[in-house]
A and B are shown apart, each in its own frame.
Chain A
Amino acid sequence: MPLESPRRVLLAKPGLDGHDRGVKVVAMALRDAGFDVIYLGLRQTPESIMSAADQEDVDAIGVSILSGVHVDICERLIELRREHQREDMPIFVGGTIPDNDEKVLRGLGVAEVFPVGTDIEDVVARVRTILDVREVTP
């Protein structure tokens, strides 16, 4: 489905974890749904992600973490977002994330949390919602 105007989403894997199946699937699904997707790749830091987000002028950031350090990384990412005065830019997170941590992440200001096993169409729909993107009906 085409979108009103393509939205730019930055995807990255922060930390040392290399399990990139999920982030690649999300990248392909968002691309097929009409988003502009920039995938930064592995071993990124919150700093490198935020600076790429500035350079690429993206509308949202998605990070994928399967080593369990999602809370630490998101704390730093949200802090940097504030420093960069980009509170309008939603951040979403995927990975091995237990229910309790999902609440913690949302409390920090993470817009969406996608634990492993989340339906890929559901991921796309929820990214659309946080970016307030409507599908164009022909």
Chain B
Amino acid sequence: MTFKKSIISIAFAICMLTGCADSNHWTSSHPLYHKAPYGGIAVTGIENAFVITRSSWFAKRLEIDKDSMQIKGTQHCRKTFEVEMRKSYGNLTVLSDSAIIKFPEESLKLDDRIFIKGHIPEQGVTLKDSTGNEPPVVLILHEFIIGTDLKREDFFDYALIHNESGSIRKPDNVSAIFSYTLWDNLKQRPLFSAVDEIQQPITTYKLANLTNLIQIAVQKIRKNLIAGVDK
């Protein structure tokens, strides 16, 4: 009887290990990523990363004019992001997007079907801040998509990106999907890359909720950078 039980448990373990369930990996670490940034970090890409979909839905709730929703909304997100990063890391250097936009857009593989796209500095070229210093690590924010009921599979799993979603009348959640890379500026290599997803249940939606969404995102990035360290 115990023999039978152990066979079943082994079979179950194999099933777990090989992944009978959804097995996408949403993060990838460099084998030499040994220490998460602490105390100081540089960040780039935040001028162009934020995108708000369903702008009229947001405009109605945030009481912003529909035509200026993209500009004002993303500006708010960007500022909140900066403030939150500064809270988390103390010494924050913000590099303008022009530092990386000149490099060609490349794709980075996270898993068999998961690829993220972004401007990544060339091998042998270091990023410099306005005073000419070279920050040791730079967080490159590739994309930050805000919308309702979004799933990261639909954006980053190449088997699913052509799926069309049905029109949803009444959304349940405000979603944020963001991809980023922690860049080793001294050795010019990607230390850690990830795609994250946040679902924020909707009750009444105000600007404070959007601020809160960005706050959660920054905390998630910080946690992931620590969890991704290859021990």
A joins B in a complex: no
- Which B residues are closer than 8 A to A by beta carbons? none
Chain A contact residues, CB within 8 Å of chain B: none
